[in-house]
Amino acid sequence: MFKKGYLSILSLVMGFTFFSTNTFAATDIVDNDALSSAPGYCEQKGNWTYKTGSGYYNDYRIVSATVNGFDTDYAYIWGFYAHDKNAAHYVYLNNKDFTNPRTAYQIDEFGGIVYINQNTAPGGWNFLKTHKEWNHMIVINTSLTTKLGNVGADATKITY
C-alpha cells in the first residue's frame, strides 16, 4: 500500500514538473527604429547617430559620452504597449563601438536604475531587472551615465 501511494505522488510531481508552463509566456521586442507594427515605440533626445552594419536588425544608434559630445538632457527611450505586467527587462548589446563603462538604464517610472558596462557586457541580450508597473519602458539616463566612451542604443525587450 505504501509503495502504491508513494508511486502515485511521485507520478503526480513528475507530471506537474514536466508540464509546467514558463512564468514568462510573452516577449515584446522594440528596436532602435521601431516599426509602426512593433509592440512599442522608441524616442531619442539629443544627437544620436544612426549606423548600420551591426546590431539587432543590422542597425543601431550611438552617441559620444565625452563631456563635449554628451548633454545630460540626452536620452534614449523604448516604451512598450504591454500594461500592468510583471516583466523582465533586457537590453541588446553586441557592438564593439559601445564602449561606455557605466550606462544608466532607468526601468519603468519607479523601477530604479540599473548600470551596465557596455564595453564588457556579453554580446546579446543582457538582463536588467524584473519589475511590475502599469507602463513599461527602458530609458538610457544620460545624466547618470559615466562621461566616457560611446553609448549605444539598439534593441530592448520585455518578457512577461
pTM above 0.75, yes or no: yes
Answer positive or negative: Cα dihedral of 123, 129, 132, 138. negative
Residue-level pLDDT at 72: 78
Sign of the dihedral defined by the CA atoms of residues 35, 63, 118, 50, in that order: positive
Does residue 7 sit within a domain? no
- The answer to whether residue 2 is domain-embedded is no
Segment 25-35, tens digit of pLDDT: 999 999 998 88
Q: What is the pLDDT of residue 19?
A: 40
Give the count of beta carbons closer than 10 Å to the beta carbon of residue 132. Answer: 13
pLDDT tens digits, one per residue of 77-102: 999 999 999 999 999 999 999 999 99
- 13 is a domain residue: no
Q: How far is CA 75 from the centre of its chain?
A: 15
Model pLDDT, residue 3: 52
Q: What is the CATH number of the domain that holds 32?
A: 2.60.120.260
As for how many domains the chain has, the answer is 1
Looking at the domain assignment, is residue 14 inside a domain? no
Please give the residue range of the domain that contains residue 31: 23-159
Decide if 3 is inside a domain. no
For residues 127 and 47, give the distance between their C-alpha atoms in angstroms, rounded to a whole number.
Answer: 26
pLDDT along the chain (160 residues), means of 10: 49 43 81 93 95 94 84 92 98 98 97 98 98 97 94 98
In a domain? residue 6: no
3-state secondary structure of 26: coil
Contacts 24+ apart (CB under 8 A), 3-11: none
Q: Which residues of 96-124 are buried (b: 16+ CB within 10 A; e: fewer)?
A: eebbbebbbbbbbeebeebebbbbeeeee
| pLDDT for the residue numbered 10 | 45
In a domain, 8, yes or no: no
Residue 57 belongs to some domain of the structure: yes
